Amino acid sequence: MAKIETVGIVGFNVMGAAIGLNAATSGYRVIYKELNDELVKAMYDRWVKGALEKRVAKGKMTQEEMDTVAGRITGTADYKDLAPCDLIIEAAVEKMDLKIQVFKELDAACRPDTILASNTSTFLIEKLMEGVSNPGRTAGLHYFFPANVNRLVEVIRQKATSDETFDALMAFSEKNRKVAISVNDFPGFAINPVFISSYMVLNAFYGDKYNAATLDEISKQALGVRFGIMWVLNGSGLGTAYHAAASMNEYLADSDVGYPPVPVPLKTQFESGKPFDLEDGPILDDQAALDTVKEQLLGSIFTICTHLIEKNVVSLKDLELGIRTSLAWPKGPFTLMNEIGMDEAARLVKVAVENGLFKMPKTFAEGTPAAWDL
């Protein structure tokens, strides 16, 4: 198996810095790449020195531990300085042309056996890596926000990814104290198709009848979560959420999976520059109206999860584990289906399909399937 000791990070902002700190804290040497020397220094002062000083102040780390971790991290503005890296993780802005160019630069600057991984959340790994020589050393390594807290990592295999590369990335993730799941290359991978469609379904109802507080409460009751989907959406940023929704719709709406239309209220709220107001009035007291949203929400979750299993994007057990770990749902979607009964699950899938959210999965096309084997 390929040995990973030195890790490169391209793009050292919120996500890249969290990935880099996580690796340095786990004993890896980290070299990050930024656009110029001024940014290299600014990112170090903010995301390494500043972030670690806060941990020391809170008693989560000693000064000696901080000095050790900070000493493992250096920055550069030159791709050539990434040559010693065994693994490089691209965490640049979510623009496909930019990422493709990054990998061309890395291909020229690094050893032919350096593992090249992208932390993209929506783009296909195969597409990003088209220009890379020796594509067996390419893969996706998708961390979830905030990467220093959220324990899930999706290790994404594209068609060319070698077993050696995959095994090295699984071992790297585990040494970083992450829960790693195996995912095959697919738009949005395994978790995002579920989460993004969930908030799209909720947002489509936002307006005169359903305020943000009501929609957040519906998701709490449907999924048994402490923090509702609208709350999580505000935290992840409406700009990111809107662009991810548009990207997923573009990839899948016309496929045999289908995908919800991009909700106008999400676009409007994003363009307003303000988050959803979760204190915007009383929660609706109309059970029939609440059930209408809940049924479409659960139906869409059950439908997309079934499609992901049918398409061999991820195993049933890894999808259950991944959703519980990354989204903090007490129960995974297949446990939920089994608990409400497969007749009811089949009815809710039909609701989602009839409302134009998804195409019908084969598993449910002929009626009620047997309970899922967990």
All structural domains of the chain, each given as residue ranges with its CATH number in brackets, are 6-184 (3.40.50.720), 192-365 (1.10.1040.50)
Integer CA distances (angstroms), 280 to 32, 216, 230, 269, in order: 42, 11, 12, 14
CA–CA distances in Å: residue 178 to residues 55, 68, 227: 20, 21, 22
Let me know: does 226 contact 240? Beta carbons within 8 Å.
no
What pLDDT does 148 receive? 86
Q: Which 8-state DSSP code applies to residue 313?
A: S
The closest of 275, 268, 278, 272 to 212, measured between CA atoms, is 278
Q: Beta strand pairing status for 73-76 and 29-33?
A: parallel
Rg value, the chain, Cα:
21
Handedness of CA 269, 15, 322, 256 (dihedral sign): positive
How much of the chain, in percent, has pLDDT values that exceed 70?
A: 100
Cβ atoms < 10 Å from Cβ of 29: 17
Place of tokens 């990839």: 251
Q: Which stretches in the chain have pLDDT values below 70?
A: none
Name the β-bridge partners of 153: 143, 180
- How far, in Å, CA of 79 to CA of 96, rounded? 19
For residue 177, what are the contacts with CB-CB under 8 A and spacing of at least 6? 22, 26, 151
- CA 350, CA 27: separation in Å to the nearest integer? 50
Cα–Cα distance, 221 to 243 (Å, whole number): 27
152-157 and 138-143 strand pairing: antiparallel
Q: Cis check for the bond before 146: say yes or no (omega within 30 of 0).
A: yes
Of 199, 210, 269, 205, whose CA–CA distance to 232 is shortest?
A: 199
pLDDT at 194: 98
CA–CA gap between residue 185 and residue 117 (Å, rounded): 13
* Measured distance CA(97)–CA(22) in Å, rounded: 28
Assigned token pair, 316: 């049933």
Per-residue model confidence (pLDDT) at position 266: 98
Paired strand residues for 30? 7, 73
For 243-268, give the DSSP string: HHHHHHHHHHTTSSS--PPPPHHHHH
